Structure 1
Amino acid sequence: MTDARPILFVTNLVAPDRVGAFAELHARVPIELALFGGRSHHATAAVDDPPVPHRHVTQNEIFALAGSGDFRAVVAGTAGRTALPAAFLGAARARTPFVLWSALWAHARSPAHIAARPLMSAIYRRAAHVVTYGEHVSAFARAQGARRTTIAPQAVDNAFWSAPPGPGTAPPRQLSGGTPSFAVMFAGRPARAKGLWELLDAWRASGLDTAPAALLLAGVPPEQIPGGVGGAVHALGHLDALSLRNFLHHSSVLVVPSVPTRTFREPWGLIANEAMNQRLPIIATDAVGAAAGGLVRHERNGLVVPHSDPAALAAALVRLHEDPALCSALGAHAARDVAPYTHAAWADAFAGVLTSPSGTRTPPTEVLA
């Protein structure tokens, strides 16, 4: 007899880039989202009313919800303070299979994270399945004792992000002097882990500020930019998706210069998917999940450089500036390589886990340690 109960999917929020993914998953297997809000690493705000069944909860309510027996499996991500252990322990109380959706590929080193490692180790070992962002996350999960891992590829709405600007859409008018011949794009929060300061150091070292080139900083308010970086640096502030796509279309390369910190290592970087859909090569550091996970590939569709190394980043910028043919070839490969990274592929992988008897069977010999 088929179990008609839905899957409980616990996460903090639904970012705009996740809407299509969750809709695709719900079309394959019934899910209900439990959204507890809170901090987001996404540059865009949450969607308050996603088009799939959902409820807004507090983290304190998740244990009882997961333990209610109303769901045939419980999925939880790694966001939040108590949401993940509450979902895990609630599922254990109800003897409901638990699936971890993991973005982690390194241990965080804050006191709270260090104290939580024994519980996290138990979650990895006891989870019926761990669904990951990529092979970099799967390898880390297996090292923590996960028995079954599946990659659900990180994806955006490729149809939207690959589209050209609409009729009558001019090149970005925010730039004095018009569109530069070589435009370097960055999109992210002005946070330490995003590597903005390393990028600014690299820009100064590259000498491109004296060329017909520009560094475009989406998501960065003008007041966040220190003096001395030159007039070719443009802090664009927040951009909506259409404006961001327009800037990507008129750019030459996207830079994702993330650096690891005590509490964060870039799980993926969906801006790489978005830019690759616009045929942009990517310069990424080795601390970017999209590079560690295999989407951004050195000298195939971009350049991968060591993190926290402005000199290496500057050399990569100069190389692409001086070799337009290489820049164009990497961009063409980027568009082809990102094409399979779709919401449908993400949902297919997740649904395969949730509908497979072995995918949601809790390992029988594990006990809480």
Structure 2
Amino acid sequence: MKPVLFVTNHAPAFRIPAFKALHERENVVFALIGGDVRHGGGGTRSELPFPAVFPEERTVARMAASGRYRAVVAGLSGKVALPAAYAGARAGRVPFVLWATIWRHPRTPAHTLSYIPLRHIYRHADAIATYGPHVSAYVNTKHPHGEVFAAPQSVDVEFWTAKAQPERHGAFQILYAGRLEREKGVDVLARAWDGHGTLVLAGEGPLEVPGALRRGKCEAADLRNLYAGSDVVVVPSVPTRDFLEPWGLVVNEAFHQGVPVIATDAVGAAAGGLVRHERTGLVVPAGDAEALRGALRRLQDDPALRAQLGAAGRDAAAEYTPAAWAEGMSQALISAEKAC
């Protein structure tokens, strides 16, 4: 059976188990085009448990049309890789699957120019796989011809559920893990936190939260220890012209350690159903510092609620596995192949 060509930018550590699971199901060659990374970490390991090539973006169309692959999957990465993969698949008369990751198109001049060609791909892809139901809902507004499937976002479940050595710095510990930038809601967190409890910042960036313990960028094992030592993880992202949190993998990581999460409604993991208000976490309006302060105080004052939400979050995250992601992608491939 011919392999599938999967065009994306990198194979970061959190994607390795999912990409491996998909390769084992579908015989996939990953074309890793590199480039800038904004969301979810980057980098590609030198040794990968699946076939990988590292082409220039301009060669992707030729690869997709070469006849060596039975189908082509491409995400939104790169400058020309997606349209090149789509054009190549059409020229080679092979099924094309779009991996859709956004739930609102960025509103910058450069992104405005890309909207019409991307809308064409939404409408004419043979199938579409998405980050979750929030992205599927957005994609469906583009009137796609192909079926739409959710491939749930996952992390390395075995690693993040492993027993940790809790790192604790206060009686009530609040953890923020991520880039210290405006789009991640750090300035909102600074206004919301009133000094009650200990706020730990695990990440790098230009913004500060006065009085918080700045832990800096952490290795995965150290971050796991911080989750284990924290009472709540906060994900205060806000929408900007060119950013709307696609998912927020820190939610999965925290839930795997049984830690409740407060997220804004601008976080994909909340819009996509993993963080459910008063069921697996608390959801507050993006940019509302008062609401975020109230949610923090509520969890500080109610240990029973923290335990309840943490347990429910752990159970919910158990369904967000690399195998579930691979299943969603496989279903999209099957549908695309039938459509052709």
What TM-score do the two structures reach when normalised by structure 2?
0.95
Amino acid at match of 1:58: E
2:318 partner amino acid = A
Partners of 2:331 and 2:142 in 1: how far apart? 23
1:55 aligns with 2:34: no
Tell me which residue corresponds to 2:231.
Answer: 252
Q: Does 1:359 align with 2:336?
A: yes
Cα deviations across residues 218-241 of structure 1 (Å, max 9, x unaligned)?
1126xx3447x22xx111111111
Aligned in 2, Cα 1:58/1:28: closer, same or farther, shift over 3 Å? Answer: same
Instruction: Indicate whether 1:38 and 2:35 are aligned.
Output: yes
Matched, 1:190 2:214: no
Following the alignment from structure 2 to structure 1, what is the Cα–Cα distance between the partners of residues 297 and 222? 26
Aligned to 2:109: 111
1:83 is aligned to: 81
**What's the RMSD between the two structures over aligned residues?**
1.5
Tell me which residue corresponds to 2:153.
154
Q: Is 1:69 aligned with 2:48? A: no
How far off is 1:43 after superposition?
5.2
Q: CA deviation at 1:362?
A: 4.8
- Paired with 2:88 and 2:189, the residues of 1 have a C-alpha distance of 44
Cα distance in 1 for partners of 2:316, 2:226 equals 21
Q: Which amino acid aligns with 1:152?
A: A
- The counterpart of 2:220, out of the listed 225, 241, 248, is 241
Q: Paired residues, what number?
A: 338
Once the two structures are overlaid, the 10-residue window that deviates more, 270-279 or 88-97, is 88-97
Superposition misfits of 4+ residues, deviation over 6 angstroms: none
How far off is 1:164 after superposition? Answer: 1.5
Query: Aligned partner of 1:136: which letter?
Result: H
Distance in structure 1 (CA, Å) of the matches to 2:115 and 2:329: 26
Query: Cα offset for 1:361?
Result: 4.3
Distance 2:304 2:208 in 1: 33
| Superposed counterparts of 1:341-356, under 5 Å | 341-354=320-333, 356=334
Question: C-alpha displacement at 1:262, in angstroms?
Answer: 1.0
Q: 5+ residue gaps in structure 2?
A: none
In structure 2, do the counterparts of structure 1 residues 144 and 125 end up closer, same or farther at CA, with 3 Å as the change threshold?
same
Aligned amino acid, residue 14 of structure 1: A
1:104-159 deviations in Å (ceiling 9; x for gaps): 11121111211122111110111000000111100111111213100111111222
Question: 2:201 matched to 1:217?
Answer: yes
Matched residue type, 1:38: G
Assess, with a 3 A threshold, how the Cα gap between structure 1 residues 193 and 360 changes in structure 2: closer, same or farther: farther
Cα-to-partner distance string for 1:142-195 (whole Å, 9 max, x where unaligned): 111213100111111222111112xxx4x43xxxxx631111111111222211
What SS does structure 2 have at the residue aligned with 1:360? helix
